[in-house]
Amino acid sequence: MTRVEVLKVIQEHYNYQKYLEIGIKSRFTFDQIECKFKVGLDIRGACKPTYGAMSSDEYFANEKYKDEQFDLVFIDGDHNKEQVEKDINNSLKRLLPNGTIVLHDMNPPNKDHFHENLCGDGWEAFAKLRTTRKDLNMFCIPDDLGVGIIQRGSQELYEEEIKSDWDFFKKHKNEIMKFVEFNKITRNLV
C-alpha cells in the first residue's frame, strides 16, 4: 500500500476537508488528495507551493498564516529527526481536535536508507513521541517505506531508550513503531 492510499483512507474515513502537506516535491501526493482547503509547502519554488518557496519553519512562524488549521497533515519534507520533530510539534499546534498527522519514511528497509536523502533518521522523532506522549494515538503502516500516523488519544509508551543505529532499529522496530497492517487502519484510529 502507498502513502496516498493511507491518506485517502483516513481522509475519507473522517471526511477531512483541510489538508497541509510539508514537502510537496513533485506534487504527486498533494494533487491526489481531495480537500476543499489545501496548503502545500516546499523550499523549492519549481513545484509551485501554495505560498511560494518557503520552509515549514517559515510557514509556521509567519503571522499571516497563524490562523490556518488542518484536519489532515502529511509530513514528507526534511527527513532529519530534529526537523521532523519540529514539523510534528508545529503540526500538532495547528491540528483540529479530531485531526490526524501522517508521516512518510518511518520504516527504512536497510542501513543505507538511514541516509538523509532517503528515509534519514526522521523515524526517531516518531519513536521519541512513542516514549513520552501518553496523550497520542500512534502507529505505522510498514509499507511504502513506512507511513506513521499520529492523533490525539492515548497509547502505552515504549519504555526502552531509543538508539540511533540500524541494528537497534532492525531489532526493535515492531515495538517502537507499532506496525499495523494496512487493512486494519480504521480500527486503530481514534
Q: How confident is the model over 131-189, as pLDDT tens digits? A: 999 999 999 999 999 999 999 999 999 999 999 999 999 999 999 999 999 999 999 99
Q: How far apart are CA 130 and CA 125, in angstroms?
A: 9
Half-sphere exposure of 67 (CA within 13 A, CB side): 1
Cβ proximity of 33 and 11 under 8 Å: yes
Q: Does position 117 have pLDDT exceeding 90, yes or no? A: no
Cα separation, 81 vs 177, in Å, equals 15
What gap in Å lies between CA 25 and CA 41, rounded to an integer? 9
- The bridge status of strand 37-41 relative to strand 18-22 is parallel
Segment 26-58, tens digit of pLDDT: 999 999 999 999 999 999 999 999 999 999 999
Find out whether 58 and 31 touch, Cβ atoms under 8 Å: no
CA 68 → CA 18, 29, 39, 72, 73, distances in Å? 9, 21, 9, 12, 12
* pLDDT one-digit tens code per residue, 4-31: 999 999 999 999 999 999 999 999 999 9
